[in-house]
Amino acid sequence: MRKSLQETVHSFQVTNEELTLKGPNSAQEVAACRSTCKALLLKMKSSRFPWFRLLLVILVFTTGFLMHDIRTHGSFQASASAHVLRNSGILSASQQAWNKVSHYSFKGYRWLEANVPLYYSHMVTVLGPNLELVWAKTNETTMYISRKCSTQLAWLGDNLPRLIEWLQTHLPDSVLHLAEHLKELLLFLMRNYLLPAVDYVAGMLEQGWQLWVASCNGEGTWDCLRRQLANLTHSSWIYLQDTTVAIKDWALAIISGH
């Protein structure tokens, strides 16, 4: 295909050179065609092998083959893929690695289940009074700064209209128009994109929190959190399987030409 494209571009170049002999009226168009042909030839010579597309196609077909193999034989252990992996030793090594990961993950889970409530209560006991003291000191500091800066704020409130009027008088009209357009653009983005996005995220978080509280009967226990994570993992796995099947069908349809 690349060779055919190069021959086509070369034929265009020959045609362009022939058109230059017909008169100066088409010289500008011929020069544009000549530069375009040179750019196309340079792009075809410098193009790299599409490794990403190749890896994507290999991944899709490998996933489709595994799913078809498992569906045909009824289970992964009885499939031809498992037989090949078992004979090559990869399956036993992966099972040993998975057993180690499962063992240490289970130990970590048990440690978290036993120690997280203790550490949380200890942190609340130790840091609670300090955080309340920090919050009180922050409020006192804010009030002190506001009292000290009250005269400066009053002066700024009195002189800010004069400053705005002076800027409007001395600045060019183009700068003022630019500032006005920028303000309108920011207001448009805030009204149409930022505020709806914030409301949507807040609504989703509120809905998720209500569902979690309703599913846990108002108690945020570790067992309830574990069930919610298990349900989320199962839903994500089902969605990933459906997406993989859809991508496989799409790739097969593209390759078959339907």
Q: What is the pLDDT of residues 202-250, one digit of tens each?
A: 888 888 777 766 766 655 566 666 777 777 777 788 888 788 778 877 7
100 is a domain residue: yes
Q: How many whole angstroms separate alpha carbon 151 and alpha carbon 138?
A: 21
Domain boundary among 146, 170, 194: 170
DSSP per-residue string spanning 160-174: HHHHHHHHHHHS-HH
Verify that 93 and 42 share a domain, yes or no: no
Q: Which residues, in sequence order, are CB contacts of 72 under 8 Å at separation 6+?
A: 79
Tell whether 104 and 41 lie within a shared domain: no
Cα separation of 177 and 179, whole Å?
A: 5
Q: Is residue 97 domain-resident?
A: yes
In a domain, 23, yes or no: yes
Q: How many CB atoms lie within 10 A of CB 235?
A: 10
Query: Do the domain assignments include residue 192?
Result: no
Number of domains in the chain: 2
Amino acid at 57: V
In angstroms, rounded to a whole number, what is the distance separating the alpha carbons of residues 235 and 250? 23
Do residue 99 and residue 160 come from a single domain? yes
Q: What is the pLDDT of residue 191?
A: 86
Kindly state whether residue 111 falls inside one of the protein's structural domains. Answer: yes
Last residue of a domain, one of 102, 136, 170: 170
Token pair listed for 137: 């000191």
> Is 239 contained in some domain?
no
CB 72 within 8 A of CB 79: yes
Q: Which residues contact 41 (CB under 8 A, 6 or more apart)?
A: 6, 9
Domain limits at 135? 89-170
What's the mean pLDDT in 102-118? 85
Could you say which of 155, 170, 185 is where a domain stops? 170
The reported pLDDT for the residue numbered 109 is 86
In this structure, is residue 39 part of a structural domain?
yes
Query: Which pTM was predicted?
Result: 0.31
Determine, yes or no, domain membership for 162: yes
